Structure 1
Amino acid sequence: MTFVDLDLAEYAASSAVALGRRIAAGELSPVHLVECALAVANREEPAVNAYAALMPERARSIAVQREAEARAGLLRSVIHGVPIAAKDNMYIEGQPCWKGSLTTSDDPVTESSPMVARLEEAGTVIIGRATTPEFGWKGAGNSPRTGVTRNPWNTACNTGGSSAGSGATVATGAVPIATGTDAGGSIRIPASFCGAVGFKPTLGAIPVWPGTVNENLSHAGPLTRFVDDAAAVFGLTCGPDSRDPQSAFSIRVPVDPAARLRVGVVREPFGVPPGAEVAEVFDAAIRLLTDAGVAELTEITLDRAAPLEIFDGLWVTGRGLGFAEVIRAHRDVMDPGLARLAILAEDYSLADFFAVTQQRRAFNEWAFGLFDRWDLLVMPTMPLTAFAAEAEVPSGGHADAPLPWATWTPYTYPFNISGQPALSLPIGLSNRDLPVGLQIVGPWSADLQVLSFAGRCESALAPLNPRRTAPSTGV
């Protein structure tokens, strides 16, 4: 068996499924692909800072095993031998899990998170642990443990968070797949800012463990460069796990490929207009999708405001009370914004929290009702493009709000409140050469429909989005 050596540019432009296909055909070596992944990651790290830690020895050792399996025809999945990254709030057996915090241990964990374990069982090779803000508490990309993670398209800019390093490393081309979690937009925000595909499946579809303090908001899912890769990861990692009781209710609604979809186009979600540079790219995308006939597209409005009061109530109490003991013991080394939530949470009475849960039920009734008429919704993922890397809010933003990051993410967190599937698809660059995302939202358990439609959109929008990797920041 004679392997082909890819140059780094070809590797970085490839999809995971394409790499896996060539491994299966005996063309590519998993060992060589891991060396490509590590080379790109190391080249970009000084400028981007996407990794809490790279794991070269472990990755090389596993790649040798995957190559031996491939030589013997023992392929575990369509992405056998492909390098990936895992967000550093998911457990990797034998590795520490820092979660972006100086309060966490350096001791290795003894068991992997379900998504990680299933991807490794599928034959992928984890090259490193991608950065996250402290305990994934916010939508920006900096933490006390790892500092600032920067956007590969412009290192003066933010990646978004909390799957900050995952979005960044996919955008650099170091890996075609990274794991993420999303309790308010944490997959879709960095996907939009970094020009990646970011898929938040239905709540519980991919099990989340260890559990979080906001478990009824928290989803696990992939960040990738191509929709096919996101679909492959979903197929390999979805399904119940007893450690996440919410996953017991995961259902996959089949897709009818011949169905003519009714898709509502929302230009100003929840009455919040996007900035001009986002609107321009989004409008061009909708024109192209209309011309391509991908669905029956109808412009609609969402006749209610973004449910910020509900999200604030759930998030402030969950994080503020959930981390109260840690904050009391270690406030001086923690993110000040996270530490502040412990004080804010004290203002919520049991009656206040009960009122929030009732408001959530009413919102979810409305959100589920949207899909009595529409099969899917499309809208911008974010109302803005990436802003300053060190900032918590864009210029002129609400830095004094209880959750400053929620004030600039009004299109993402509502669908964590409802638990419905949502995917961010890159649709091109703004006039400042920063990525813009289109969000596809579906009804509960319509994950396959969201992925299928995203694939159609990806093909139709290819002229707007000719490259999936950012220009190299390395020398």
Structure 2
Amino acid sequence: MTAAARYTELDAEEYRAASGLELGRRVAAGEISPVHLAELALGLAAEAEPALNAYAVLLPERARAAAVHLEAEVRAGRVRSPLHGVPIAVKDNMLEEGLPAGKGSLTSSDTPAAASSPMVGRLLDAGTVVIGRTTTPEFGWKGTGISPRTGVTRNPWDPTRSSGGSSAGSGATVGSGAVPIATGTDAGGSVRIPAAFCGAVGLKPTLGAVPVWPGTVNENLSHAGPITRDVRDARAVLDLTRGPDARDPQSYWSRPPAPDSGRRLRIGVVRAPFGIAPEAPVGRVVDPALDAVVAAGGAEYRQVELPAALPRAVFEALWVTGRGLGFRDLAREHAAVMDPGLVRLGPLAETYSLGDYYEALAARRAFNTAMARTLDKWDLLVMPTMPLTAFAADAEVPEGGEADAPLPWITWTPYTYPFNITGQPAVTVPCGLAGDGLPVALQVVGPWAHDDRVLGFAAHAQDVLGPARAASRPRESQS
């Protein structure tokens, strides 16, 4: 019997139910083939595409060639990492050597990248198989999945609803079950919003923990992190991709601290972050989920309130000036084919004086100080990730929302962007379904550089609430 004949073939449901680490373990043991996994991933992604539009491009030939090579390595006794042979997807604002990056914009060059972004390069070195590049709004500027280049990305639980963004396709494809892992970027919630809307796990590591390159116009807000089926997959990705890279000087700031000593953690339970209660359908899921986590024990829990007001004006000042001035020249030349919301930021940015900007920096420092003091008192905070479930796929705000605000998307994401201002690690974990059948999630936030603590507690919460990978499969796949 040949080695290939001994491989087990998974059906689609077995594949969709398995974590990336489970798949990687079975590849390393010679039980399943990376080629088979790539074919399953490509088939499921292609099947979902007419409804979801999660991919800017699928890469079947490239993926199959990589899988063949990685299968040969396993047969020769080489296993690169716990994710060797596991299919993944890459957000289309990250570079992969030899491929162009569309970045959701009709203005992007079709020239293949000469080098990979650090997160992508490290995952390729770890032996993962990239099956395609996932959709993003133009230059990742907002929290929905709508772009001039790829159109509307939709939610796998209900394609009439939003995937969230800006890691829109990554959230949708992991939520659909096509891949267990996808890369994302998060400068205001762009990993956590689509993960929460699509029923997946989404990790925003500490600022700089995973290097970001090419740099962004808001580099002091921009994180790179994974969207996954399982919290432990997110930890595996972080372990494989964290660490300094000279192309991102911020990556030298975020060295992991010493491991926790095993003492009992102090957890602050925040039911209405920044004084904003989630909508009733979300609250009816979040409250019992928080109660279940508290009842499971293992830590000291106390209801707390966050010590600062929502820093909307701070974020607006940083985002509008960064994006508006950063893309002003491009918008002047190509406004007709660009997202009107992004184009509008140029004139808005010019209304800020230098004094206004430095006032925003001072307010940012005060906010960060307040949050740091809170996390001197509490080891972690746990709260809802989003105050609402996914709204209409082709809308920028929920019905009745602030469509004319300078940044419409931050009007409905009050629990995510404040932790980009602080740079703290945060992870979102599915915790159930609202009455409309759409996912709801909890968010765990920790002190700067304590990503491992955040992930350890998130894995505990996932175990208490039920495996995230089961929650991350839409209704039709659970029937």
TM-score range, shorter chain: over 0.9
Paired residue for 1:54?
58
Q: Does 1:226 align with 2:224?
A: no
* Cα contact 2:230–2:467 (8 A) shared by 1: no
1:43 and 2:60 are equivalent in the alignment: no
Tell me if the contact between 2:386 and 2:415 (Cα under 8 Å) persists in the aligned partners: yes
1:399 to 384, 397, 403: 403
Give 3-state SS (helix, strand or coil) of 2:430's partner: strand
Q: Distance in 1 between matches of 2:468 and 2:334?
A: 47
Q: Which amino acid aligns with 2:63?
A: A
Q: Matched residues, percent identical?
A: 63
Q: Does 1:338 align with 2:345?
A: no
The CA distance in 2 between the partners of 1:148 and 1:259, in whole Å, is 47
Offset at residue 470 of structure 1 (A): 1.4
For 1:162, the aligned partner's letter is S
Aligned to 1:31: 35
Aligned-pair CA distance for 1:464: 9.3
Q: In 2, are the aligned partners of 1:94 and 1:110 still within 8 Å (CA)?
A: yes
Query: Residue 220 of structure 1 aligns to a residue in which SS?
Result: strand
Q: Distance in 2 between matches of 1:303 and 1:18?
A: 41
Q: Which residue of 1 aligns with 2:301?
A: 297
1:239 pairs with 222, 236, 243, which one? 243
Alpha-carbon offset, residue 46 of structure 1: 0.3
Partner of 1:253: 257
1:253 CA drift (Å): 2.2
Runs of 4 or more off by more than 6 Å in structure 1?
none
User: Residues 176-226 of structure 1: CA distance to partner in whole angstroms, max 9, x if unpaired?
Assistant: 000000000000000110010000000000000000000000000000010
Q: What do the CA deviations read for 1:359-380 (whole angstroms, capped 9, x no partner)?
A: 1111111111111110000010
Q: For 1:278 and 1:417, how far apart are their aligned partners in 2? A: 25
Structure-1 residue corresponding to 2:331: 327
Task: Give the whole-Å Cα distance in 2 for the aligned partners of 1:254 and 1:38.
Answer: 40
**TM-score, length basis structure 1:** 0.98
Q: Residue 374 of structure 1 corresponds to which residue in structure 2?
A: 378
Checking the alignment, whether the CA contact within 8 Å between 1:253 and 1:448 is kept in structure 2 is no
* SS of the residue 1:262 aligns to: strand
* Cα drift, residue 248 of structure 1: 1.0
Match of 2:154 in 1: 150
**Structure 1 residue 281 and structure 2 residue 279: aligned?**
no
Q: Distance in 1 between matches of 2:148 and 2:229?
A: 28
Task: Give the 3-state SS of the residue equivalent to 1:203 in structure 2.
Answer: coil
How far is the alpha carbon of 1:256 from its aligned partner? 2.8
Which amino acid in the other structure matches residue 464 of structure 2?
A
Give how far 1:382 is off: 0.5
Q: Does 1:459 align with 2:463?
A: yes
**CA contact under 8 A between 2:159 and 2:393: conserved in structure 1?**
yes
State the secondary structure of the residue aligned to 1:101. Answer: coil
Contact 2:18 2:469 survives alignment (8 Å)? no
Q: Which residue of 2 aligns with 1:365?
A: 369
Q: CA deviation at 1:105?
A: 1.0
- Displacement of 1:257 in angstroms is 6.5
Q: Does residue 315 of the first structure (1) align with residue 319 of the second (2)?
A: yes
Aligned to 2:413: 409
Tell me if 1:468 matches 2:477: no
Aligned residue for 1:8? 12
Read off the aligned partner of 2:417 and give its amino acid letter: Y
Determine if contact 1:161/1:189 at 8 Å carries over to the other structure: yes
SS for the counterpart of 1:352 is helix
Change (3 A) 1:443 1:463: closer
1:194, 1:468 → 2: CA distance?
7
Name the structure 2 match of 1:208: 212
Distance in 2 (CA, whole Å) between partners of 1:35 and 1:86 is 17
Residues in 2 aligned to 1:429 and 1:180: alpha-carbon distance in whole angstroms: 24
Q: In structure 2, which of residues 193, 197, 211 is the aligned counterpart of residue 189 of structure 1? A: 193
Q: Which residue does the alignment assign to 1:450?
A: 454
What residue is the counterpart of 2:268 in the other structure? Answer: 264
Separation in 2, partners of 1:45, 1:297: 43
Is the aligned partner of 1:131 residue 2:158?
no
1:73-102 CA-partner distances (Å, limit 9, x unpaired)? 100000100000000000011111010000
Which residue identity lines up with residue 453 of structure 1 in the other structure?
F
Q: Distance in 2 between matches of 1:316 and 1:8?
A: 44
Equivalent residue for 1:77, pick from 78, 81, 92:
81
C-alpha contact (below 8 Å) 1:294/1:457 kept by paired residues: no
* SS of corresponding position for 2:471: coil
Structure 2 CA distance for aligned equivalents of residues 467 and 185 of structure 1: 21
Aligned to 2:120: 116
Instruction: Say whether residues 1:166 and 2:170 are aligned partners.
Output: yes
Matched residues in 2 for 1:42 and 1:381: separation?
Answer: 30
Q: Structure 2 CA distance, aligned partners of 1:195 and 1:305? A: 28
- How many aligned positions are there? 473
- 1:115/1:206 contact within 8 Å kept: yes
Q: String of CA shifts for 1:208-250, please: whole Å, max 9, x gaps.
A: 0000000000000000010110000000000000000000112
Distance 1:302 1:42 in 2: 44
Aligned to 1:347: 351
Say whether the 8 Å CA contact 1:172–1:472 is kept in structure 2: no
Q: Is the 8 A contact 1:429 1:465 kept in 2?
A: no
TM-score (norm 2): 0.97
Q: What whole-Å deviation, never above 9, does each CA across 1:29-84 have from its counterpart, x for those lacking one? A: 00010000000000100000000000111100110110000111100000100000
Work out whether 1:64 is the aligned partner of 2:65: no
1:150 and 1:444 map into 2 onto residues whose CA distance is 33
Query: How much has 1:160 moved relative to structure 2?
Result: 0.6
1:444 is aligned with what amino acid?
W
The residue number in structure 1 matching 2:179 is: 175
Query: Would you say the 8 A contact 1:428–1:464 is kept in 2?
Result: no
- The match for 1:99 is 103
Gapped regions of structure 1 (runs ≥ 5): none
Following superposition, the deviation at residue 407 of structure 1 comes to 0.6
